[in-house]
Chains A and B, each alone.
Chain A
Amino acid sequence: MSRIAGRFQQLAAQRRTALIPYIVAGDPSQDATVPLMHRMVESGADIIELGVPFSDPMSEGPVIQQAHERALANGMCLSRVLELVQEFRKSDDTTPLLLMGYANPVMYMGYKAFADAASAAGLDALITVDIPPEEVDDINAQLQRVDMDNIFLVAPTTPEERISRIAAGASGFIYYVSLKGVTGAGHLDMEEVTQRLAAIRRHSQLPLAVGFGIKDADSARAVAAVADGVVVGSALVNAMAQTLADGGNSGQAIEAVASLLGEIRQGIDSAAS
């Protein structure tokens, strides 16, 4: 069983919702990323989503755009991201890791070369924001060859017949984008999220994670009541950036993320009880 499937099964048995933090690899520095990942696990992360920086991150709001720019300025690139994955795996062989990024760097490396390198590094899954099901066949063939999950997104605008098509090709979990907009936008409509998750469940047995627009313990608690996983990104990246902007050092920035993540963990767990 894959690490992702195993983790969701284990959480389901405990009646807990997965907490999935997102950070951009190489932000605020290359050296900080692996310590930050371990610290997030200690603070309650169940799965880690690592952003692959891209020059043109079209689905991101300003907070994560700037994180991409910082990471690139720090010399981050896809092969280096995979090295960080490998480094993380040296002392954590259980926490599922997924990369979230854009098509072009993966395509440039080559789908086959990426699948081989990512699998060897210990990566579990990939989300490419701009590869919808219509364009997915080539990369899917390579990911399946190395037993890696390709995580699909479902949006508020996805019609139900399309959900059924997406569900048919999905593995690992399904990622529901909770709002029309970019990452970090702030208008979560819980009634709509609840209805949409119910619609997805009519077509898939896979766990459902919800991301975009979850920023604190309260919003995480609300989403945890209806979802199997909660993704938090911009709020964490912002906590880190703010700490540094206020004169804090890298260690303090990591602790700011850990602290916020701890609060969100409590929020999620209080929804379950």
Chain B
Amino acid sequence: MTINASKDLYAAVPDEQGRFGPYGGKFVSETLMAALAELEVVYSNLSTDKHFQQELDHDLQHYVGRPSPLYEAKRWSDSIGGARIYLKREDLNHTGAHKVNNTVGQALLAKHMGKKRVIAETGAGQHGVATATIAARLGLDCVVFMGETDIQRQALNVYRMKLLGAEVVSVTSGSRTLKDAMNEAMRDWVTNVDNTFYIIGTVAGPHPYPMLVRDFQCVIGREARAQSLAQTGRLPDALVACVGGGSNAIGLFHPFLHDESVAMYGVEAGGHGISTNQHAAPLTAGTPGVLHGNRTYLMQDSDGQIMDTHSISAGLDYPGVGPEHSWLKDIGRVNYVVANDDEALRAFHKLTKIEGIMPALETSHALAYAETLAATMTPEQTIIVNLSGRGDKDILTVAEIDGIVV
């Protein structure tokens, strides 16, 4: 396939079946089909409803704290000596990551649908915290599913969710990480579909989730585009974002897709290295298949079983990726690359020391690649990196790797 930058190309996905080219769709059990159809209708009506948009904008401004700044990382850029790097500061959002843009939106949908109970899956805990936060504010019952392995490595976020009044369910099936948490959330949803809204945290799951999560996250790219024009007088030359499920990346990329001059890089988790098979990089080293309701690139074995993944960051530790990314890869609009665990760690330390900004380990993957990319570019060029989350939650992980007892 070739790149066709016509407006229709990007606006035409997903189609009515929820497909992005051959990806996406609705691969779920029959019990959930009616709930998805209802959600499609509700979202279709509300997304064009002026009052709903005003309500959402109000929450984003006064509760989340938007717009988030576009910050020029001068010392970091100087240290590299290539392109100027700007950070889109999603870490400054309420709850410390981009995740809240989506939970605010979906919780409003739940409210309009009269659902009193919300559920969510979480890996690093950022989406769980963002969901528990908005549930507390709206007075909704909240249950968060989290793999047992992740509960151990993200103890702080688990406690945060409990403080916010959410029930955190430890998932002990399969690999006990994000994918298993999502399985368990689907099982809960199929059981309690009448009164429960499932707030999916990334641009995956069955249609219409990849579309509506994208739409809620696009505020990142819309702001960044306007801020870039205002601050530098031009569009950036490149965008860089980390990709687990891919919601922060699609949020940054999507409003720029028509801007042909803007190159885009989605950075997957290379773990111990692609050649070791211990990574979480389906776009780089996987093949298409069906998981969690959509067709997309997956890490799977020769029998179509989903493989265990590895990443230093729980939020990227997922064997699939949002279907729109699979499509953007195939049509060549976005470049998907990897950063390994140790590269991400180095970037974590560097940004913390040189800019006084402590990034999440997920985000650190994007920073690691941005540094490599910037070095190949000139000081007249600019890069926007999505600083998708702050790193407080990862301090204990980093300390343990560095052999420090906190």
Contacts and interface: CB of A to CB of B under 8 A. Distances in A.
Interface stretch (B26-34, B104-112, B210-218, B378-386): B26-34
A181 interface: yes
Interface in A26-43: none
A266 interface: no
A58 B173 contact: no
B304 interface: yes
Contact of A156 (B17, B26, B27, B31): B31
Interface-central residue, B27, B32, B34, B193, by most chain A CB under 10 Å: B27
B187 interface: yes
B191 A155 contact: no
Interface stretch (B6-14, B48-56, B220-228, B288-296): B288-296
Contacts of A162: 33-34
A158 interface: yes
Interface string B179-214: 110010011001111100000000000000000000
Contacts of B303: 77-79, 105, 108
A56 B30 contact: no
A263 interface: no
B26 A107 contact: no
B35 interface: yes
A102 B28 CA distance: 10
Interface stretch (A5-13, A126-134, A240-248): A126-134
Given A108-B289, A182-B191, A55 B28 contact: no
A153 B304 contact: no
A65 interface: yes
B193 A132 contact: no
A131 B191 contact: no
B27 A59 contact: no
A109 interface: yes
B191 A130 contact: no
Interface string A68-87: 01001000011100000000
Contacts of A69: 173-174
B30 A104 contact: no
B193 A157 contact: yes
B244 interface: no
A60 B184 CA distance: 10
A255 B306 CA distance: 33
A69 B290 CA distance: 19
A186 to B, nearest CB: 11
B25 interface: yes
Contact of B30 (A60, A77, A102, A153): A153
B300 interface: yes
Contact of B290 (A62, A109, A130, A157): A130
Given A107-B289, A155-B31, A135 B26 contact: yes
Interface residues of A, number: 44
A264 to B, nearest CB: 24
A181 B173 CA distance: 17
B293 A130 contact: yes
B305 interface: yes
Given A130-B29, A134-B26, A155-B31, A55 B305 contact: yes
A104 B186 contact: no
Contacts of B193: 157, 180
Contacts of B306: 55-56, 104
A253 interface: no
Contact of B34 (A61, A78, A105, A159): A159
Nearest to B35: A157
A105 B30 contact: no
A105 B304 contact: yes
A103 B190 contact: no
Contacts of B32: 157
Given A134-B17, A155-B30, A157-B35, A181 B291 contact: no
A187 B80 CA distance: 63
B26 A157 contact: no
Nearest to A129: B29
A91 B33 CA distance: 40
Interface-central residue, A60, A135, A177, by most chain B CB under 10 Å: A135
Nearest to A76: B303
Interface-central residue, B32, B33, B293, by most chain A CB under 10 Å: B33
A56 B174 contact: yes
A78 B304 contact: yes
A106 interface: yes
Given A69-B174, A182-B187, A103 B27 contact: yes
Contacts of A58: 28-29, 183, 186-187, 292
A154 interface: yes
Interface-central residue, B34, B179, B298, by most chain A CB under 10 Å: B34
A91 B303 CA distance: 28
A180 B30 contact: no
Given A58-B183, A59-B29, A132-B29, 12 more contacts: A56-B174, A56-B291, A78-B304, A107-B304, A108-B303, A130-B29, A132-B27, A132-B33, A134-B25, A155-B29, A162-B33, A181-B187
29 contacts: A55-B305, A56-B174, A56-B180, A56-B291, A56-B292, A69-B173, A79-B303, A102-B290, A104-B304, A105-B305, A107-B289, A108-B289, A130-B27, A130-B290, A131-B27, A132-B27, A132-B33, A134-B33, A135-B25, A135-B26, A152-B30, A155-B31, A156-B31, A158-B33, A158-B34, A162-B34, A177-B31, A181-B191, A182-B190
| 10 interchain residue pairs of minimum CB distance | A108-B304, A105-B304, A77-B303, A155-B31, A181-B191, A155-B30, A157-B34, A55-B305, A103-B290, A153-B30
